[in-house]
Amino acid sequence: MMGMKLAVGLVGGGIAVLGLVACAGTPAPHEKAASSQAAITTAKEVHAEQVPQAALHLKLAQEQFDKGKALMNDGDNRAASFMLMRAQADAELALALAHENKTRTEAQQLIDKLRAAHVPVPTSAQVQPAGQ
């Protein structure tokens, strides 16, 4: 019985050491930090904070970026890497939502101009996809 406890203790200790080595062996995700910061900056440049849904994702991206940097400073590079990937994904979504909003606004302005000129504007049900 004593041998079994010793074996379990050695195995458990070995697993703990492997876990520490695995965490320590993960390099700091500097590239992920740079790419997520670039995505946040790009979203800000297109004024994503002025589009409600985009603003939400931009805020999440900034919070996740800050947390990722803090995790890097604490040496938890694996968790930092995942947090920074989330930050980049949310920043890219904010950017896409801002672009979609701009496109919708421009399309509505064009429709309004056509209607003002008394040009019939087809509805989406009347528009045939290309090639049909």
pLDDT tens per residue, range 62-100: 999 999 999 999 999 999 999 999 999 999 999 999 999
In this predicted structure, what is the pLDDT of residue 129? 56
Residues 38-51, mean pLDDT to the nearest whole number: 97
In this predicted structure, what is the pLDDT of residue 125? 58
Residue 57 makes CB contacts below 8 A (sequence gap 6+) with 48, 90, 91, 93, 94, 97
In this predicted structure, what is the pLDDT of residue 21? 47
Q: Does domain 28-116 have CATH number 1.20.1270?
A: yes
Q: Fill in the amino acid letter for 98.
A: A
Q: Using CA atoms in the order 79, 81, 84, 85, what is the torsion angle rounded to 10 degrees?
A: -110
Beta carbons within 10 angstroms of residue 43's beta carbon: 28
Would you kindly state where each structural domain of the chain is located, as residue ranges? Answer: 28-116
In this predicted structure, what is the pLDDT of residue 114? 86
| pLDDT band at residue 122 using 50, 70 and 90 as cut-offs | confident
In this predicted structure, what is the pLDDT of residue 55? 98
Residues 117-131, mean pLDDT to the nearest whole number: 66
87 phi/psi in degrees, rounded to 5: -60, -45
Residues 8-30, mean pLDDT to the nearest whole number: 59
